[in-house]
Structure 1
Amino acid sequence: MTQQLERILILGTGLLGASTGLALRSAGYSGSIIGWDKDGTQSHIALGAGAIDSVTSNPVETARESQLILLATPVYAILDWMKQLAPVLTNDHLVTDLGSTKAQITEAGNQLFNQRGRAGFLAGHPMAGKEVSGAQAAEAKLFQNAVWIFTTDENQPPLQPDAMHHASEWRAWVEKFGCRTLDLDAHRHDELVAWVSHLPQFLSTALTALIQDEVGDAPELTAVGGRALREMTRLGSSPYSMWRDIALTNTEAIAAAIHALEQRLAHLRENLRTPELREEFEQANHFRKS
């Protein structure tokens, strides 16, 4: 395809930002990739890994000189960057993001961007990641066979022509990463990920913390704990720095999911000696098979 995105700025060169840079190179992108991270160590690790070509000390000026600005930070930092960049970018720029919640970001994108004379904004969320953070864990294949979601809302104005062209090219690169793209309403996105992503994380965090409190100092724990323990507590090592913003920006949906889980666990507790326990296992097996 004809490449028009000749210069890409990645703000946030941790796991997802650095992996995006590596994925771009692996997919054949030949333009410039510039990086910035508030933790200079992360940007220099990304530079050494080949995820970016250079590190900028002036991200706002570099954004002006780029066609695509990728916001790959926690959610509140994404919102802060959007406010900083909106007044200085024009309609030949496209801003996109990797934020894990989308309602607030999509709404802010339509208020700050996607207007005449302003840059375009394309809200995105790759359903990929690891339980560890940082550029040192980045890999080009992180997004292969993943779904990359782009979100909109009912008030979304159409992108201006230049931004629309950049958005089409960006979508094409995402597909070259090995992703399937999906367009979804932002509020629906947040409802769904509360169940399939956020609830598993908070369940694992609670379980891991509980085990630490109850038997964490038991010398036999390593021998007794097998695959079930490893799998169920794997997400327990996820960083608070990212999940804090997710909890604050999707509180209602996450709280509803946790409440429903509490009720389901209470139902299991009350039916450990009844045939209804079998029904729960059958329901779980049906979901896994489907």
Structure 2
Amino acid sequence: MSHPEPVARRMYGLIEPLGLVPYLADESDQALISLGLRNQWDAYFAGRAAPFGRSVPAEVIHSVFYNFAPGEVARHIPKVWELTTPEAALAARERGCVAGIRRILGDLADDAGVERAADLLLKAATSAPAEGRALYAALRTVPVPREPPARLWHAATLLREHRGDGHIVALVAEGIGGTEAHVLHALSIDMPAHEFGRVGHLRAAQLTEVIEGMRDRGLVGADGWLTSAGRSAKERVEAMTDRLAEAPYNTLDAGELGRLVTDLEPISAALQASFPW
């Protein structure tokens, strides 16, 4: 069924803390690095790219992930597959994420609400068409875990990657490149681009070139901030991302959606409160 109100933005707020567990809870990186990986970024690329297997080259992963600067993916792919296997990386990532969730949630991790949320979220997460969504489709091939906290995290990750694939579609439709997307976001929250973590590490000349390209297209003004055209582009990207993220939730009726929101709220709040935002 179609819900009378768009739900993707509301669900994004509830699901994102679960989707961020691999990146903000130390247990995931620790589990992956224990396989012999060199650092946190090895863990990131091994954990997230593992559903594609070891034979997919860095250029393809760069395209699918979209928003890394040229050469960043190639520093880790395929090197990580000389150190471990995709199967081991998937298992370690899941093991670490579940450990992190259990540490943060405490007794709540075994509450009946976690199992209910896991079942409903998985129903939504596995209902959407996979066409045109490479990362979501790859993750759909990974076996679903049995343990409720693991199943909940897996479902949230599916939905996060489904939304992310749609976000890339929206960026491409607006002509916003991967590195430009970070600049657009930083400036939209009134943060100078060089202070934003995902592009702050770039060489000054490289970041300047990106910003100049956006200025030439009227997205950034002479003052270095977004123009009205730039803010409109950002709003269109977010609106299209939300529209493209609606499909999974259409499989839930109003009662199921209400129960899911009620069960997710305390889980999401506990995770959010634990992260170093």
Q: TM-score, normalised by structure 2?
A: 0.29
Larger C-alpha radius of gyration, 1 or 2? 1
More helix by share: 2
Higher relative contact order (CA 8 A, sep 6+): 2
